[in-house]
Amino acid sequence: TTYTNATATASFTVTASENTAPVITVTEGVLVPSGTMTTVAVTVSDADGDPVTLTASSSNTAAATVSVSGHTLTITAAAAAGTDVAIITVTADDGTGLPNATSTATLTVVTH
pLDDT (tens digit per residue) in 24-45: 999 888 889 989 999 999 999 9
Domains detected in the chain: 23-111 (2.60.40.1080)
Q: Count other C-beta atoms under 10 Å from residue 65's C-beta.
A: 19
What dihedral do alpha carbons 77, 61, 83, 72 form, nearest 10°?
-40
What dihedral do alpha carbons 63, 69, 36, 78 form, nearest 10°?
-20
pLDDT (tens digit per residue) in 41-94: 999 999 999 999 999 999 999 999 999 999 999 999 998 767 889 999 999 999
Q: Are 111 and 34 in contact (CB under 8 A)?
A: yes
Its pTM stands at: 0.80
The helix (run of H) or strand (run of E) holding residue 38 is strand 37-41
